[in-house]
Amino acid sequence: MHHISDRSIDDYISQITKFSQSQRIPTPQELDRIVSELGITEEQMAEIQRVSQEHLTRADTYMKLRQWDYAIEELEKGIPLNPFSLDTISCLGEAYLGRWCLKHKRADGVNLQTAARKCLQIQPDSPIAMSLLSRFYRYSKWRRSSQLIFGAISLGLIGGVVLAATQDSLRSLIVSHTPIGTLIGYKDNIDTERERLLSTDNRQAELNRQIESFKTQQTAMQAEIESLKTKQSSLQAEIESLKTEHSDPTSNESDNQATPDNLPSPEAKQLQ
């Protein structure tokens, strides 16, 4: 790690830090005046820029490891060296947002908003700053909503337990010590029986629906069977008709054939 030990550079860092504490960045004219008054050379300014970049590089490494504290420490050292570095300031805002999401400290929320405003001072339409603020407001709203929901659930659970315990104690006292308790016991039995009968009725209704469905299916199957029988009878009649048309014709010609009784005798043949 490189350190800048020159007295004029230390004074430069001190004066720039005062601007950071006032939540604003120096203007280019103010920065030129500080450099001129302290007599900082170009070589010294180059060294300042180099060390500032080293802080940003180390901070980026820490942020990838989600080591927000170390990243913030590096960036807060680097910003006074280069107060116009949009990358360094926006990176600081991201680091504060990461730590705020982890620890939910109000100071981190304030600091990330300050970093976003500084980005807007450098670049009025900075998309980095707008994204940073948008995510912070969205996360804050979600966190408040979650707290309200969890609080309501907790109160509901606690209240429900207390109310149930109170009701059970009161019911036990009434049932065991007053004649009205007997009536309450009867009412509870009636309610239980009514629920049981209602459940039974529901099951019976479901069974009836299933039976009706089976009957409908059975009727459809019977109709289909009758249709198949009709088609079968029609086919059988057609087959019989074809058999009749293609029967053996020799049975019709048998009457026309000569028999021994009607053949001419040999004497008749001689006379002929």
**Domain span including residue 43:** 7-147
Tell whether 181 is covered by a domain.
Answer: no
Taking the model in full, what pTM does it have? Answer: 0.51
Query: Which range has highest mean pLDDT (4-8, 125-129, 172-176, 225-229)?
Result: 125-129
At 56 the pLDDT is 94
Q: Which amino acid is at 110?
A: V
Tell whether 19 is covered by a domain.
Answer: yes
Q: What are the tens digits of pLDDT across the range 124-160?
A: 998 989 999 999 888 888 877 766 665 566 555 555 5
Which is more confident, 52 or 24?
52
The region of weakest confidence among 44-58, 105-119, 203-217 is: 203-217
Q: Measure CA 208 to chain center.
A: 40
Tell whether 175 is covered by a domain.
Answer: no
How many percent of the chain have pLDDT more than 90? 22
Tell whether 229 is covered by a domain.
Answer: no
Tell whether 155 is covered by a domain.
Answer: no
Tell whether 177 is covered by a domain.
Answer: no
CA distance 112 to 92: 7
Q: What are the tens digits of pLDDT across the range 236-261?
A: 888 888 888 777 555 454 445 544 55
Q: Which amino acid is at 46?
A: A
Tell whether 167 is covered by a domain.
Answer: no
Tell whether 188 is covered by a domain.
Answer: no
pLDDT, mean of residues 45-64: 92
CATH of the domain at 72: 1.25.40.10
For the chain, how many structural domains are there in total?
1
